[in-house]
Each structure stands twice: as C-alpha cells, then as structure tokens.
Structure 1
Amino acid sequence: MVIDILRALFGGGTNVVRETAEVFRVNAEAADQRSTETQRAALEQMAGEFKIQDRGGFDRFIDGLNRIPRPAMALGTLGLFVAAMVDPLWFGERMTGLSLVPEPLWWLLGAIVSFYFGARYQTKGQEFQSSIATTIARAPQVAETITALRQLRADSPGMAETRPDAPLSLAALAPADNPALEDWRRRRA
C-alpha cells in the first residue's frame, strides 16, 4: 500500500508533489532559464542594432555627433557645481546674466532639449527660471556666509574655545600625577 501511494505521488513520469508546489511557488530553475533566454534575446537584438554595416564616413561622423550632447550636458552641469564652489562671485555673475535671457528663448531651449531627450522639459521651464532667480537672490547671503566661514579658520586670531567646558577639556589634557611613571623614573635614576 505504501508503494502504491509513493508511486501515485512520484511515479508514472510525473511528480504530483512538485507540480502541486509549482502552483503556489514558481519553479526557480525554470524561472532562471526564462530569465536567461530573455536576456540572451535582448543582447542579440542589441548586437543586431550595432552591427558594423558598410557605412560611409559621413554616417560615422553624424553618429559621433549624436553621442556628444548627453555627456557634454552632464559634465557641464558638474563643472557648474565646481565653479560655484571655487569662485562664487564668478558663478553669480554668470547666473545673473542668465536671468536676462528672454523667456521665449528659454522656451525654445526647453523645446530643443525636450525634443532631443524625449522629456517634458517645457512644463518645468518656469520652475527652473524661478529657482535660478531665487538662487541669485541668495548670492549676497552666500558671500557673507563665506566671509564668516573664512574668519573661523583655525589660524584666525581669537578662535580659542570659549564654551564653559573649555577649562575642563584643558584640565583633562594637563599632565596629572602618575604613580607608575614616577616609579619608573625613580628606577632609572
């Protein structure tokens, strides 16, 4: 009887327990196989798109030009962050100049960028221009903060600790009685 039950569960070329479990849980091996096949198909499609065809120099030149804007914009944006930290006044002057650009020109630039990248940049144009104006308005405050920070350098006069716990910190750093050290000094002498 036990053999008949085991044969019913596992025999006959099918596995009733496995098939029942797969109703509730995905077969990991089969899922991995499907994932591998999907990835292989995607890679073959991508390889087909980038096959070297018999194209002329002009086509290769245009393909090269098409690859420039994204890295140029990304590196340019990072360059602006660096410029803002290195020379805030220079950066502020340039951003003030950008605030003088007429709004239709911003919309045209937004349309070009959104067409190239496929984004909805036009709806964000107004917010972008507003944020630039807000940032420029904060430039004097930033300049004052930088001046105040430069006065806080360690080599600036008057920068000693003045909080009430300063004497306690100094007392903790002052040499105190050390019996072991005194004993060692006596032995050496």
Structure 2
Amino acid sequence: MGLIERLFGVVFGGNRNVVRETVEVFRENAEAGAVRGAEVQQQAMQQYGSEFVAAPKGWFDRFMDGLNRVPRPALALGTLGLFVSAMVAPLWFAQRMQGIALVPEPLWWLLGVIVSFYFGARHQVKSQEFQRSIVDTIAHVGPVVNNIKAIEELRHDSIGAADPGPDVRAAAQALRSEENPALEDWRAAR
C-alpha cells in the first residue's frame, strides 16, 4: 500500500496532475480553449460596436449617398435602352456601335477598373452597414429578453398569477363560493 501511495503522490501530489499536464502539451484543454474563444468573441463584438456606431449624416453625406445610387440603375436602364434602340432604329444603333468600335483598348481597361472599384467599394459600404445593423440588433437582445420575461409574468395562466401572497383573508375569500343569481337562473332553466 505504501508503494502505490508514493506512486500516486509523485503523479498527483502537490495539487498537480502530471498526466493532465503532459496531455495538455499535445492537446489543448477544451474548457480553457472555450473560455478564450468566448473572450475573443466578446472583445470582437465590443470592437464592432465601437467602430460601427452610427453617426448622424449631414446634407453632403446624404447627397453623396443619393449620387452613389445613380450609376447602377443608369447602367441597367442604358443597356435595356440599347436593346430597344437596336430594334427600333437599327441604322442609328449601328452608327453608335461603329463609334464605340473606335475606342482604344486601354480605355476599355480603364473603364473596367473604374467600374470594378466602384462596385467593390459599394459592396464594402453595404457590408459595413449590414455589420453595424447586426451589432445594433445584438445590443437590443438583453432588454428584449427582459421585456418578454416581464410580459410572461403578467399572463393570467402563469404559475402564481392568482397567488394572494401572505394575505390569509384574501386566500379565504378566493376559496369561498359566492352566490351568483345569473348562474342559478341558468342552472334552473336547464
């Protein structure tokens, strides 16, 4: 018995677990990893909240937002207009396309880069607005849950809703049946 006790004292003595410490060299402690992951996620949400706090927009910001909404509909409607003009006035359309055929290739590349950057930047702005709205929504989760709990407690069928509390007279009065003339008339009519 003394040998086994000494062996366990070497392995587990001094408030340590040599087996666990050895395994943690090769494999992460799942509980400690989950705690670190939760801390990282909480810090990231706090950072998102501080980065994406909506500031009131001035007239210039609103004007630029309106101006940014023009190119996509203009490109879509312009392309549809080209199809219609090709059917309605083929000669006029052919003359315009001959003019476009004279545009040098580097200018086409430049147009492609500009359009790509415009739509890429627009996508990023919309993505950031979406993330901001998610952070705002998550910030409202706590009060909403508390409000739902408070509303559930007000339901007439919730547990303890009719509890008179420590008032003995109210409890006795709730159990006492009262005379109800309408109910008695109804019973007599049956």
Q: TM-score range by the shorter chain?
A: 0.3 to 0.5
Higher relative contact order (CA 8 A, sep 6+): 2
Q: TM-score, normalised by structure 1?
A: 0.39
